[in-house]
Each structure stands twice: as C-alpha cells, then as structure tokens.
C-alpha cells in the first residue's frame, strides 16, 4: 500500500490541526512524520487479515492489564506536529482509561508498537520510520514484512536509533520479553504476494 504525500499549506505548529480536519472529513488515518503529512490509502484485505491474525496472537499472550489497540497515535516529544499511528500499539489499559478523550500516547507509555508493511513500502521509508519511533522513545518496535515473510524487532531506543535489533523469517518466534507474553510465533502469519 503506497503512502501518499499530501502537501498542506499550513504553518509549522498547525499541521496537526490540518491533519485532524482531514481525518474528520475523510475518516482516513493520517500521520505527520518529520513535518510531512502522510495519508496511506485504505488498507487492502490481506493487510487487514495479517493485522487480525497478529492481534489474535497477541491477545492470547498478553498478561492481564495490557491490551493491543488500533488508532492510537504516538507524538514526537517537543514537536507540535509530528505523530505516527502504528498498525497496533500495546500498552497498559489503565493508561488509556486515564485519558479517554486523548488520542496521543507518549512513546514511553507504550510497551510495543507494531507496523505491518505493504508490498509497495520503500526501505528508505521504513528506515526513517524506525528512527522516528526510537526518537519518540517507544521501547520496542516490531516491523512485519508480509511480502518477504520476515520481521524485525527493535528495542532500547536512543537518540541514535534503536540499540538492539533482532531479525527473523516467518516461522521464527519473535523474542518478546515475558512481560509481553514471551515468544511470539510467526509461522501462521499470512504473506502477501511480492
């Protein structure tokens, strides 16, 4: 699923307001990464199937008090505009319950962000987004690549990016820590046609 770059004539510090208006008008997911407004197209059915399967895997493993959520955005600290909306975000349910009207969750309050890529997503865009999540201080980021049947798990964020990265193919378990339910099997996750 190709990401469309949308140029909005809004001053820095007002992009979030413009994005909110577009999202209300269209119902589409909007992100602002490094000052660029991104509006991915509606996800295809196979993307939704991969996300659904992953959600079931997580639901079966997450300890009580943790949940996986869609449409929760992570802001970049100190930037009035930038925020990302991961495919899934794992966090303590109490954190979201404390602020029911809030749609932004600071990265350090997340436990895991998950991004499911599309066949058309470019490696440069993926690398930029991984660096962005590290800067936002999301403790762990799981990237799934269904077209390749592979994954990468990034942890220990710093200003220079994530300090620890694990890679695997579908069939290899993702080494999540025990507090996130332990190893996550990937053998049954659906693949896209490349």
pLDDT tens column, 116-163: 987 667 776 788 899 999 999 999 999 999 989 999 999 999 989 999
Q: HEC states along the chain?
A: CCCEEECCCCCCCCHHHHHHHHHHHHCCCCEEECCEEEECCCCCHHHHHHHHHHHHHHHHHCCCCEEEECCCEEECCCCCCCEECCCEEEEEHHHHHHCCCCCECCHHHEEEEEEECCCCCCHHHHHHHHHHHHHCCCCEEEEEECCCCEEEEEEEEECCEEEEEEEEECCCCECCCHHHCCCECCCCCCCCCC
Q: How confident is the model at residue 41, as a pLDDT?
A: 65
Residue ranges and CATH numbers for the domains of the chain are 43-180 (3.90.1570.10)
What does pTM read for this prediction? 0.83
pLDDT score recorded for residue 1: 42
Q: What is the pLDDT of residue 92?
A: 93
* pLDDT tens digits, 6-42: 444 445 567 777 777 777 777 777 777 777 777 766 6
């Amino acid at each position: 699923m190709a990401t469309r770059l949308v140029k909005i004539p809004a001053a820095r510090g007002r992009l979030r307001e413009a994005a909110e208006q577009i999202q209300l008008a269209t119902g589409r997911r909007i992100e602002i990464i490094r000052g660029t407004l991104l509006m991915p197209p509606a996800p295809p059915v196979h993307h939704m199937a991969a996300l659904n399967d992953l959600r079931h895997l997580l639901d079966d493993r997450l300890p009580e008090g943790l949940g996986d959520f869609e449409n929760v955005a992570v802001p970049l600290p100190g930037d009035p505009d930038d925020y990302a909306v991961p495919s899934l975000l794992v966090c303590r349910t109490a954190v979201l319950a404390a602020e029911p009207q809030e749609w932004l969750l600071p990265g350090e309050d997340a436990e895991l962000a998950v991004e499911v890529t599309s066949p058309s997503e470019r490696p440069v865009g993926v690398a930029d987004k991984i660096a962005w999540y590290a800067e936002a201080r999301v403790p762990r980021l799981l990237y799934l690549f269904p077209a390749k049947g592979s994954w990468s798990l990034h942890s220990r964020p710093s200003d220079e990016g994530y300090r620890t990265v694990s890679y695997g193919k579908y069939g290899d378990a993702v080494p999540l820590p025990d507090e996130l339910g332990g190893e996550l099997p990937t053998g049954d996750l659906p693949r896209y046609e490349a």
